[in-house]
């Protein structure tokens, strides 16, 4: 790792980037394939369901070891998005004002104020990945934020039925409210406006594979509910 004192950044050597990307994608795909098989076809789907926190942590690790430049702006984005996503969920769980009336199960691990801590990390991953993808197709800041929020809602559309079936979270009366998707879009749009403005590297080639892998994973699980 090389230090750029002028810009106060840490630079990852480019010579390792391609091999690291290929290995990261391979690990990501294999791990999700095993998880899919375990949750759908194994004799003990609960075991694989309980590996969800490990899956999320591994995904985050593989994503961010492929991030090219680490600086203060990146860490501020990471921390701010984590806290914003986590406390939005805390408000949602305790008031119903955001997302609707819902509660978290046990599958996502340790909870603080009835919300899994890993939910904050999940928001970081999704904001980061969809933000990078949107910038490839739309250079306008507001246009990119809008497109990224649409991608986020698209993914959530496939996550919701799986989340209910596998004890990630549950909705009052068993119905997923339209308000949930509206709030997801609104919060995602605001966080991505901040993402677009923050001055850190946004060219991580692992962002696309992570988002597509998650989308296909939850889409496939929906077929077996």
- 97-132 pLDDT per residue, tens: 999 899 999 888 899 999 999 999 999 999 999 999
Least confident of 44-48, 195-199, 215-219: 195-199
Q: Report the DSSP beta bridge partners of residue 70.
A: 10
Name residues whose C-beta falls within 8 Å of residue 96's C-beta, 6 or more positions apart in sequence. Answer: 102
Name residues whose C-beta falls within 8 Å of residue 31's C-beta, 6 or more positions apart in sequence. Answer: 55, 58
Q: Can you give the residue ranges of every domain in the chain? A: 2-222
Q: What pLDDT score was predicted for residue 208?
A: 94
Model confidence, pTM: 0.89
- 149-162 pLDDT per residue, tens: 999 999 999 999 99
Q: What pLDDT score was predicted for residue 14?
A: 58
Q: What pLDDT score was predicted for residue 18?
A: 80
Q: What pLDDT score was predicted for residue 61?
A: 96
The residue assigned the tokens 């008031």 is 95
Which residue, among 129, 130, 106, has the nearest Cα to 51 in the 3D structure?
Answer: 106
CA dist 117 and 135 (Å) reads 28
- 33-72 pLDDT per residue, tens: 999 999 999 988 889 988 999 999 999 999 999 998 888 8
Helix (H) or strand (E) holding 11: strand 9-11
Q: What pLDDT score was predicted for residue 13?
A: 56
Residue 30 has pLDDT above 50, yes or no: yes
Q: What pLDDT score was predicted for residue 187?
A: 94
Which residue, among 203, 188, 189, has the nearest Cα to 135 in the 3D structure?
Answer: 203
The residue assigned the tokens 């690990």 is 27
Using DSSP's 3-state secondary structure scheme, residue 149 falls into helix
Helical packing angle, 178-197 and 141-165, nearest 10°: 140
The percent of residues above 70 in pLDDT, for the chain, comes to 93
Q: What pLDDT score was predicted for residue 16?
A: 66
Measured between alpha carbons, how far is residue 125 from residues 46, 117, 170, 209 in Å? 25, 14, 22, 12
Alpha helices (H) along the chain = 17-40, 45-49, 52-64, 72-95, 118-137, 141-165, 178-197, 207-222
Q: What pLDDT score was predicted for residue 37?
A: 95
């Amino acid at each position: 790792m090389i230090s750029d004192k002028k810009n106060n950044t840490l630079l990852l050597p480019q010579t390792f980037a391609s091999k690291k990307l290929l290995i990261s994608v391979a690990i990501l795909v294999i791990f999700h394939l095993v998880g899919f098989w375990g949750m759908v076809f194994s004799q003990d789907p609960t075991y694989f369901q309980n590996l969800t926190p490990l899956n999320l942590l591994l995904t985050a690790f593989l994503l961010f070891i492929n991030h090219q430049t680490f600086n203060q702006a990146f860490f501020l984005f990471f921390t701010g998005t984590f806290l914003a996503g986590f406390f939005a969920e805390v408000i949602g769980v305790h008031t119903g004002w955001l997302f609707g009336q819902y509660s978290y199960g046990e599958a996502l691990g340790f909870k603080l104020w009835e919300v899994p801590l890993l939910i904050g990390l999940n928001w970081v991953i999704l904001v980061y990945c969809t933000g990078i993808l949107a910038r490839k197709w739309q250079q306008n800041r507001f246009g990119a934020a809008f497109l990224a929020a649409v991608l986020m809602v698209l993914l959530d559309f496939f996550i919701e039925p799986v989340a209910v079936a596998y004890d990630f979270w549950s909705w009052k009366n068993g119905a997923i409210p339209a308000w949930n998707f509206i709030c997801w879009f609104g919060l995602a749009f605001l966080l991505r406006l901040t993402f677009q403005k923050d001055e850190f590297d946004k060219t991580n080639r692992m962002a696309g594979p992570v988002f597509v892998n998650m989308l296909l994973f939850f889409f496939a699980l929906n077929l077996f509910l």
